[in-house]
C-alpha cells in the first residue's frame, strides 16, 4: 500500500439521498419523477423562488450589497426576528433576555452547534446520551455521533399500524437517564409525516420535565407543514412557556423560504435565567469562531428583510400557504390515485402531514419503481410529495399499483415463496 497520511481512511459510501438526486439527474428518461430529496417544486416540477424572497432580493439589490463579514454570531436582526416568529405572541422582554442565539449554517449547522455547546457544558464525566427517533432524518445520527455522543435510537413508528408508536416512545422517555438529550421534530416528522397530537405532546413534555431530560427541537418545517406558523410552532411554545423548560430550537429557512443553497439557520437556546443566557451566548460565539469564523451573509440578509418588513412578512405567510396547500392537494391526489390503481389501504398517507409521505412499500418495490419506472424515492419509501404535480401524479399512482400487483403475484407462486422478502421500514 502507498505510504500516505491518509492510508487509514476508510471508504464511506455516498450519502443515500444526495446519491439518489445525482442518479435522478443523470437519468435521460422523459418520464422520470423525483420524489427523493425534500425540495419544493411547483406544479411544473420547477424550483420555486418565493415572491417574498424575490422582493427581498430586489430590496437588497437596491440598497447595494456590500460583501463584508457578518459578526461571529451572525445577523442579530435575523436572530431576534426569528425568536419573535417562533414564540409569537408569547415573546416578550423576559423571554428574550433568557435566550442565547446564533445564526448557523441551516438546520444541520444549528444541530451541530447545539451539539457542540451541549458537549462543552456537560457536567458529567460521560457525555449525555442522544435519543433519536427511528426512523428519522438521515443526518441526525451522523451529526451527533461525529461529535462523540452516544446515540440511542428509539422506536417512533409502528410499521404494523403505520402510525406513531406513542407507547414505546413514552416508555423510552421514562427510562432515559437524567440529562439525556431528546431529539424532537417540532412538526412534519421526517420521514414519517406523523406528529404527536397536542395531548401526546403534553405527555412527552411532562415526562421530559419530570425526568430532567433536555429537549432539542429540530425545526426545519415551521410554517411549511400546515401553512400556519403558529400552529407548527405549538410544541416549542408549550415546552418553553407552559412547562418552563430549557430547550434548543434548531431552525432552518431552507424549506420554508426556499433558501436551500444559502444555508440560513438560527439556533435558539431558551435558558432559565438572563445571566445563564449571556454566558451560553458567549460560548456559542467562541465555538462558532473556531469553526466557521462567521456565518454566510446573503441568505441571512434575505430572511432578515422578509421578517423585518410587515408587508413582506404577509407575502411570505401567503407563500407558506401556497407551498403547503399544493403539497396537501398532491397528497390527496396520490391517495385517490392509489385507491384507483391498487388494492392496498392508503389511509396512512392522508393521516400524515408535511413534505413527506411514508408509503410503507417493500424495498424491492422501491427499487423496481426506480429501475423500471424512473420514479425515485428514498429506500424506506419516503416520498417528497412536492415532486408530484398534476402531470405526473397519475403515472406515479398507476406505477405503484402495477409494481405492487406484480409483487403480490410473484409471492403467491411457489418459487417466489422461498425468496427473501424485504421488510418494510
Ligand atoms: C431531506 O430530508 O431530503 C432533506 O432535508 C435534504 C437532506 O439534506 O437530507
Residue 423: the pLDDT is 35
11 φ, ψ to 5°?
Answer: -90, 120
Contact 358, 351 (CB under 8 A): no
Q: Return the pLDDT at 422.
A: 39
Which cell goes with 243? 412547562
Helical packing angle, 274-291 and 106-120, nearest 10°:
120
CA–centroid distance, 191 to ligand 1, in Å, is: 10
**CB-hemisphere CA count at 13 Å for 17?**
16
Q: Give the model's pLDDT for residue 220.
A: 98
Asked if 401 contacts 338 with a C-beta cutoff of 8 angstroms, the reply is yes
Q: Are 115 and 269 in contact (CB under 8 A)?
A: no
422 is catalytic: no
Residue with cell 400524515: 352
Sign (positive/negative) of CA torsion 389, 391, 392, 394?
positive
Report whether 199 contacts 164 (CB < 8 A): no
> Ligand 1 pocket by C-beta < 6 Å: which residues?
17, 37-38, 137-139, 190
- pLDDT number for residue 204: 98
Tens of each residue's pLDDT in the chain, 425 residues: 579 999 999 999 999 999 999 999 999 999 999 999 999 999 999 999 999 999 999 999 999 988 999 999 999 999 999 999 999 998 999 999 999 999 999 999 999 999 999 999 998 889 999 999 999 999 999 999 999 999 999 999 999 999 999 999 999 999 999 999 999 999 999 999 999 999 999 999 999 999 999 999 999 999 999 999 999 999 999 999 999 999 999 999 999 999 999 999 999 999 999 999 999 999 999 999 999 999 999 999 999 999 999 999 999 999 999 999 999 999 999 999 999 999 889 999 999 999 999 999 999 999 999 999 999 999 999 999 999 999 999 999 999 999 999 988 876 654 444 443 333 33
What is the chain's length? 425
Residue from 81, 255, 301, 370 carrying the catalytic annotation: 255
Is residue 392 within 8 A of residue 45, CB to CB? The reply is yes
Q: Which residue of the set 218, 301, 346, 370 is catalytic? A: 218
Please report the sign of the dihedral spanned by the C-alpha atoms of residue 68, residue 71, residue 77, residue 78.
positive
- Active-site annotation holds for 218: yes
Residue 407: the pLDDT is 83
| pLDDT of the residue at 125 | 83
pLDDT score of 412: 65
Place of cell 450589497: 65
Give helix then strand counts, H and E, for the chain: 17, 13
Q: How many angstroms separate the CA atoms of 105 and 63, rounded?
A: 25
| 71 contacts 54 by C-beta, under 8 angstroms | no
Exposed, middle or buried, 170 (CB in 10 Å: 0-12/13-18/19+)? middle
162 catalytic residue (yes or no): no
Q: Which residue has the cell 458537549?
A: 119
Q: Is the peptide bond before 100 cis (omega within 30 degrees of 0)?
A: no
Question: Given this model, what pLDDT does residue 1 score?
Answer: 55
pLDDT of the residue at 16: 95
Terminal CA-CA length for the chain? 40
Distance from C-alpha of 213 to C-alpha of 231, rounded to nearest angstrom: 24
Q: Which of 109, 138, 250, 259 to mutate to test the pocket of ligand 1 (most atoms within 8 A of CB)?
A: 138
Please report how the helices 298-308 and 310-341 are oriented relative to each other, as an axis angle in degrees rounded to 10: 100
Amino acid at each position: 500500500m502507498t505510504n500516505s497520511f491518509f492510508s487509514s481512511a476508510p471508504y464511506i459510501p455516498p450519502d443515500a439521498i444526495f446519491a439518489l438526486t445525482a442518479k435522478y439527474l443523470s437519468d435521460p428518461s422523459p418520464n422520470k419523477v423525483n420524489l427523493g430529496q425534500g425540495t419544493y417544486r411547483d406544479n411544473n416540477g420547477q424550483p420555486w423562488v418565493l415572491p417574498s424572497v424575490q422582493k427581498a432580493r430586489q430590496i437588497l439589490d437596491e440598497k447595494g450589497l456590500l460583501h463584508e463579514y457578518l459578526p461571529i454570531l451572525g445577523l442579530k436582526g435575523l436572530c431576534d426576528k426569528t425568536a419573535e416568529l417562533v414564540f409569537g405572541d408569547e415573546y416578550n422582554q423576559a423571554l428574550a433576555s433568557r435566550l442565547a442565539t446564533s445564526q448557523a449554517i441551516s438546520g444541520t449547522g444549528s444541530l451541530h452547534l447545539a451539539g457542540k455547546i451541549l458537549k462543552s457544558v456537560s457536567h458529567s464525566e460521560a457525555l449525555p446520551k442522544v435519543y433519536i427517533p427511528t426512523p428519522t432524518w438521515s443526518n441526525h445520527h451522523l451529526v451527533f455521533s461525529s461529535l462523540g455522543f452516544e446515540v440511542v435510537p428509539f422506536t417512533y413508528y409502528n410499521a404494523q399500524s403505520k402510525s406513531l408508536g406513542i407507547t414505546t416512545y413514552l416508555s423510552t422517555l421514562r427510562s432515559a437517564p437524567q440529562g439525556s438529550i431528546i431529539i424532537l421534530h417540532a412538526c412534519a416528522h421526517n420521514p414519517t409525516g406523523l406528529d404527536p397530537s397536542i395531548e401526546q405532546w403534553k405527555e412527552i413534555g411532562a415526562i421530559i420535565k419530570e425526568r430532567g431530560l433536555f429537549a432539542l427541537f429540530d425545526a426545519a418545517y415551521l410554517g411549511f407543514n400546515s401553512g400556519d406558523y403558529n400552529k407548527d410552532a405549538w410544541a416549542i411554545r408549550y415546552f418553553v412557556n407552559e412547562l418552563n423548560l430549557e430547550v434548543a430550537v434548531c431552525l432552518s429557512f431552507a424549506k420554508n423560504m426556499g433558501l436551500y443553497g444559502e444555508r440560513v439557520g438560527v439556533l435558539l437556546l431558551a435558558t432559565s435565567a438572563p445571566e445563564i443566557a449571556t454566558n451560553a451566548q458567549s460560548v456559542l460565539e467562541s465555538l462558532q469562531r473556531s469553526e466557521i469564523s462567521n456565518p454566510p451573509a446573503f441568505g441571512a440578509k434575505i430572511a432578515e428583510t422578509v421578517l423585518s418588513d410587515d408587508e413582506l412578512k404577509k407575502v411570505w405567510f401567503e407563500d407558506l400557504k401556497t407551498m403547503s396547500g399544493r403539497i396537501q392537494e398532491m397528497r390527496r391526489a396520490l391517495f385517490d390515485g392509489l385507491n384507483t390503481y391498487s388494492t392496498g389501504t392508503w389511509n396512512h398517507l392522508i393521516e400524515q402531514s408535511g413534505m413527506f409521505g411514508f408509503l410503507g412499500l417493500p424495498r424491492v418495490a422501491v427499487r423496481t419503481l426506480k429501475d423500471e419506472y424512473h420514479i425515485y424515492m428514498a429506500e424506506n419509501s419516503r416520498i417528497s410529495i412536492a415532486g408530484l404535480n398534476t402531470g405526473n401524479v397519475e403515472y406515479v399512482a398507476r406505477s405503484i399499483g402495477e409494481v405492487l400487483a406484480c409483487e403480490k403475484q410473484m409471492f403467491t407462486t411457489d418459487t417466489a415463496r422461498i425468496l427473501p422478502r424485504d421488510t418494510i421500514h
